[in-house]
Amino acid sequence: MEVKRIAKSGTFESNDIYIIVEPKGDEGIEINLESIVMKQFGEQIKKTIEDTVKSFKIKSIKITAKDRGALDYTIKSRVETAIKRAL
């Protein structure tokens, strides 16, 4: 699938994550993550985002994520929603 436009989901509330997805010129998944638990969970959050993107078979996407301590299921659903809004 292809990301056609900029879309977002989520909030800046505690335990939520704010996601912006946008088209990327070339191939690849680019993730820019800011998180209040970067040191403890940064890699795990990136992996969850990446796995969710891959489940849509998207090859080219830029994702900006501002995390306020979201759990994995929140991250998955916010990313999924943003992607669906961008298709």
**Closest to other proteins by CB, 9 or 35:** 35
The one among 22, 50, 72, 80 contacting other proteins by CB under 8 A: 72
Cβ atoms within 10 A of the Cβ of 31, count?
16
Q: How many residues bind other proteins (CB under 8 A)?
A: 15
Is the CB of 22 or the CB of 50 nearer to other proteins? 50
Quick one: which of 2, 40, 51, 54 contacts other proteins (CB under 8 A)? Answer: 40
Q: Does 11 bind other proteins (CB under 8 A)?
A: no
Closest C-alpha to 49, from 85, 12, 16, 74: 74
Q: Applying CB under 8 A, does 78 fall inside the site for other proteins?
A: no
Contact 20, 63 (CB under 8 A): yes
The contact set with other proteins (CB under 8 A) reads 14-15, 36-37, 39-44, 68-72
